[in-house]
Amino acid sequence: MKRIAISTAFALTLAAGAALAPTDAHSLTAPATAGNGWKLNSPRITHIDTKPWVIAFHDTTSRTKLTPYLRNTAAELQANLGVKFTVTTRIVPVTRGQCVRGHVISYRYMSKPDPTRSNASFTGACGINGAADGAYVYINSDYWLKTRNFSEPVRMNVIWHESAHAIGLSHPATCPRDRYGRQPLMCADTYKDLRTRRYSSFEQTAFRHLVTNRTYATVVNR
């Protein structure tokens, strides 16, 4: 699934913070942002802060359709990241290319949201000072058409994949198998590639680094 990179003025904020970094041992160590089968959306997003997250929806149709899926995803993200994720009933309209802010992830259920790739869903994630701060997630409603013959686990995989983009994961450079024979969920680039029904050990490793990199970010940004 395609991830849309968004450049923001916050790069300047980060540079200013880095210039003020104290010269202690921590500031000399770069955070780990990629490994075997996992990758963070670095340098835009290298860690997750402790603020709680809100799951919202573009409109009532998106809310009705996607809420049942997102309860599972939110619970899994909360367990892996140690940060609260709440599925709300809030309506937050989104536009592709415009950052969503304030630790909100807003989901939009829409047919062919990318006109150039009819099968695609996509996510745009924005960060502040290296931490995820908000995202829009477009889920392609064509996956629910009877004529498309999508299975429920495949639809679920798409939602989990895009949700991981929203908080700072990227597509890894390598797609190995873990000891259960599963490949990274973030390796899936088309719906046919999806191989797992929930986050694999590779995404769990990436989530762990989002948390541990928080310490580094606190040092360089204070």
Which residues make up the interface to Zn ion (CB under 5 A)?
Answer: 1
Q: What CA–CA distance (Å, rounded) separates 199 from 16?
A: 35
Using alpha carbons only, give the angle 68, 71, 73 rounded to the nearest 5 degrees. 115
| Nearer to Zn ion (CB atom), residue 14 or residue 94 | 94
CB of 210 to Zn ion, least distance (A): 16
Q: Which residue is nearest to Zn ion (CB)?
A: 1
| Closest separation in Å from C-beta 146 to Zn ion | 25
Residue with Cβ nearer Zn ion (1 or 105): 1
Cα separation of 183 and 195, whole Å? Answer: 7
Q: Residue 1 or residue 132: which is nearer to Zn ion going by CB?
A: 1
Exposure letters 42-56 (e unless 16+ CB within 10 A, then b): bebbbbbbeeebbbb
CB of 50 to Zn ion, least distance (A): 26
Instruction: Give the type of residue at 54.
Output: V
Helical H runs in the chain?
10-19, 60-81, 152-166, 201-221
C-alpha distances in Å from residue 161, one per residue of 23, 40, 43, 148, 215:
38, 13, 20, 20, 26
* The token pair that represents 50 in the structure block: 């402790």
In the bound state with Zn ion, the residue whose beta carbon lies nearer, of 2 and 84, is: 2
Shortest approach of Zn ion to residue 121 CB, angstroms? 8
Least distance between Zn ion and beta carbon 159 (Å): 12
Residue 187 or 220 having the CB closest to Zn ion: 187
CB of residue 66 to Zn ion, shortest distance in Å:
17
Residue 138 or 216 with smaller CB distance to Zn ion: 138
Query: Do 106 and 78 contact (CB within 8 A), yes or no?
Result: no
**157, two tokens:** 């995989």
Are the CB atoms for 123 and 137 separated by under 8 Å? yes
DSSP conformation letters of 201-213: HHHHHHHHHHHHH
